[in-house]
Structure 1
Amino acid sequence: MKWSMGGIAVALFAVGCGGSEGEPTGTDDGSKREVECGAFRLTFEEDYGFCHEGCRSRLELSSDGTGSAARSEAHEPPRTKRDFTLTEEELAAVRTGLETGNAITWDRNYGCPDCFDQGSYELTYESCDEQRTTVLDPTEQPAELKPLVKTLRALLHANRP
C-alpha cells in the first residue's frame, strides 16, 4: 500500500474540523434570544364609558398573527368571542405601531381616562421578560402610541363579534 503525504494531510484536516459531538463552544446564543424576543402578545381593551349594553370590547393579538375579539358588559367576563387571523399587511401594521410605541417609556395613564364618561383604552404589551401597561384617554394620547392605537381599534372593530 502506497501512502501519499497529501492524502494523509487531507484526512487529518477533515477529522480536525468536524465530527465533534455536542454543542459548539464559544457560540453566542443571541440569535436564539432574538427569535424568542420577536414574540409578543398584545391586549387592547376599549371601554365605552357611559353606555347601556356591550360596554367593553377586548382584542388579543399574538406575534404569530392569531387574534381574538370579545365583547362584554363592564366588569364582566366576555359574553361573545371571535377568533381570527391577521393578514400579512395587518400584522406588519401592528409591528410598525409597536416599534413606534415602544420608542417611549409608557406612563401609567395618559389624559383623564373615563373622567367625563368618554371611556378609556387599556393597552398591555408582553414580550420575553417585559410587560408594559397603560390606560389612555381616547381624546389624549402621546403621538408615539397613536398609530398603534389606531391600528388596534380598526382591527377590533373589524373583528368584533
Structure 2
Amino acid sequence: MRPLQLIFCLLFAALVLNSCKKNDAKNLEEIGYGSSFGMCVGYCSSRISVSADQVTFSKSKNGDKPETKTCTKAITENEVAALKKLVNTNEFNKLKEVVGCPDCADGGSEWVTLKLEGKLRKVTFEYGNAPEALKNIVVKLREMRAEFKDCN
C-alpha cells in the first residue's frame, strides 16, 4: 500500500504544479509603454512599442491637432529577449487596470501594455510611481524612450 500512496502523492503534485499558469513572458508579442500629461503645452504624450524586430516611438501634442511624430529603429532578438526577462506576466495580470490616481493634479500618467496571445492588456499608474511588479521593465522602457529624444 505504501508505494501506491507515494505514486498518488507524486501524481497529485505533478497535476497541481502543471495547473499553475506559468510566466508567459517568452510568448509576448508586443510590449508597450507611454506617458502623458493632460495640462501641458508641446509634446505631452509619448509612447513606444517593442515588437520582435523593431521599436516604434511616437509623440503627440495635446489639442485639436495632435501633430504626431513617429520614429522607428531596429532591435535585435537578444535585446527583445532581455526585455521579456524583465516582465512577469503573472504579476502583471494581477494588477488593476488603473493603479493610484494617474494624471491627477497634472501629475502625469504612465502605462505599460502587454500583448500576449493576441490579447492586449494595459496598466496605467501615476507618473514616476510604477507598481513594484513593473519597476524593472519601466526603468528599461524609459531608457529606450530616451534614445528617441532627437525624433523630429
* TM-score (ref. length: structure 2): 0.69
Counterpart CA distance in 2 for 1:93 and 1:159 is: 20
Of 43, 53, 71, the match for 1:65: 53
Q: Deviations over 1:2-46 (max 9, x none)?
A: xxxxxxxxxxxxxxxxxxxxxxxxxxxxxxxxxxx7251122221
Instruction: Please identify, of 51-60 and 87-96, the stretch whose mean Cα deviation from structure 2 is larger.
Output: 87-96
User: Cα gap change, 1:86/1:48 in structure 2, threshold over 3 Å: closer, same or farther?
Assistant: farther
* TM-score (ref. length: structure 1): 0.66
Residue 136 (structure 2) aligns with: 147
Residue 90 (structure 2) aligns with: 103
Where does structure 2 lack aligned partners over 5 or more consecutive residues? 1-25
Q: Deviations over 1:115-150 (max 9, x none)?
A: 021110122211114332111112332211111111
SS of alignment partner, residue 82 of structure 1: strand
Query: Matches of residues 37-116 of structure 1 in structure 2 within 5 Å?
Result: 38-62=27-51, 64-74=52-62, 79-87=68-76, 90-98=79-87, 100=88, 102-104=89-91, 105-116=94-105
Where does structure 1 lack aligned partners over 5 or more consecutive residues? 1-36
Pick the structure with more strand per residue.
Answer: 2
Contact 1:103 1:144 in 2 (8 A): no
Counterpart CA distance in 2 for 1:53 and 1:151 is: 25
Counterpart CA distance in 2 for 1:91 and 1:157 is: 17
Pick the structure with more helix per residue.
Answer: 2
Counterpart CA distance in 2 for 1:124 and 1:89 is: 20
Q: Cα RMSD (Å) of the superposition?
A: 2.2
Identity score, percent: 24
- The runs of at least 4 consecutive aligned structure 1 residues that moved more than 4 Å come to 75-78
Residue 30 (structure 1) aligns with: none
